[in-house]
């Protein structure tokens, strides 16, 4: 199991939850706030709030998509680069969204008519800043697992030989099974009694049996394969 499996799963689930909350907050703060300032004939603030509603909603959908990606690839150590890259992209978008929210709140602070509560800032901070950092951490942990797996596979390839490991080693194992079957047949044949002209049975000598076993084994396995995979 990859080291960053749990971290990526937790961050992915929370990203989906906070993505839904971000969409709801953006729709409420952007469009409901725009209606308030439209009634006050504040066209600049109305346009900014509508733009924030659209941008915040898209950010929430992006959070949901990245959360699903993190859950799906949490146990795939070779996807660590994508997890880190998407986490950095989400962090950059989250920083822009948070700065935009602070600018709008600073502009509407003097009106004291419509102002978001404190927990709305918590939704943006956790969903857009903390969780992407957690996803990046999961990608870094998966990187250590990936490098460890690469090192182990390299050791195996060095021990067995150069070339394509799976194909040639499977061919070697298949030949080894054939040689084993051939050896068993040769043993059965060598131990079978031989009848002479007088009708009495006589066993073959053990030296002849060993000779047949060595001969069958040496012929059934390709010598190039034997040299290549010899330890």
Q: What is the pLDDT of residue 171?
A: 55
HSE-CB for 110 with a 13 A CA cutoff? 3
Instruction: Categorize the per-residue pLDDT at 31 as very low, low, confident or very high, splitting at 50, 70 and 90.
Output: confident
Mean residue pLDDT of the chain comes to: 75
Longest dimension (CA), the chain: 125
pLDDT tens for 199-229 read 444 444 445 555 555 555 444 444 544 454 4
pLDDT tens for 120-149 read 888 888 988 999 999 999 999 988 888 887
> In a 3-state reduction of DSSP, which class is residue 195?
strand
Instruction: Categorize the per-residue pLDDT at 23 as very low, low, confident or very high, splitting at 50, 70 and 90.
Output: very high
Check pLDDT > 50 for residue 24: yes
The more confident residue out of 19 and 121 is: 19
Residues 6+ apart with CB under 8 A from 34: 45, 46, 49, 50, 53
Q: What is the pLDDT of residue 46?
A: 85
pLDDT tens for 79-124 read 889 999 999 999 999 999 899 888 888 888 776 566 777 778 888 8
Q: What is the pLDDT of residue 197?
A: 44
Q: Where are the domains of the chain?
A: 5-160, 165-228
Q: What is the pLDDT of residue 205?
A: 45
Check pLDDT > 60 for residue 64: yes
> Phi then psi for 76, rounded to 5 degrees?
-105, 95
């Amino acid at each position: 199991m990859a080291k960053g499996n749990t971290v990526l799963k937790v961050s992915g689930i929370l990203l989906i939850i906070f993505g839904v909350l971000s969409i709801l907050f953006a729709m409420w703060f952007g469009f409901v706030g725009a209606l308030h300032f439209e009634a006050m004939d504040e066209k600049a603030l109305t346009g900014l709030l509508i733009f924030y509603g659209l941008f915040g909603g898209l950010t929430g959908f992006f959070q949901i998509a990245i959360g699903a990606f993190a859950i799906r690839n949490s146990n795939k150590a070779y996807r660590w680069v994508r997890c880190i890259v998407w986490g950095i992209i989400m962090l950059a978008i989250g920083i822009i969204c948070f700065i935009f929210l602070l600018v709008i709140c600073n502009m509407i602070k003097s009106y004291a008519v419509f102002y978001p509560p404190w927990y709305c800032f918590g939704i943006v901070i956790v969903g857009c800043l903390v969780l992407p950092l957690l996803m990046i951490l999961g990608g870094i942990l998966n990187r250590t697992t990936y490098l460890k797996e690469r090192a182990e596979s390299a050791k195996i390839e060095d021990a067995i030989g150069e070339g394509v490991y799976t194909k040639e080693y499977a061919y070697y194992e298949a030949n080894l099974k054939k040689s084993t079957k051939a050896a068993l047949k040769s043993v059965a044949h060598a131990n079978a009694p031989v009848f002479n002209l007088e009708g009495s049975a006589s066993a073959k000598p053990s030296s002849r049996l060993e000779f047949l076993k060595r001969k069958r084994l040496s012929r059934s396995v390709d010598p190039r394969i034997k040299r290549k995979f010899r330890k």
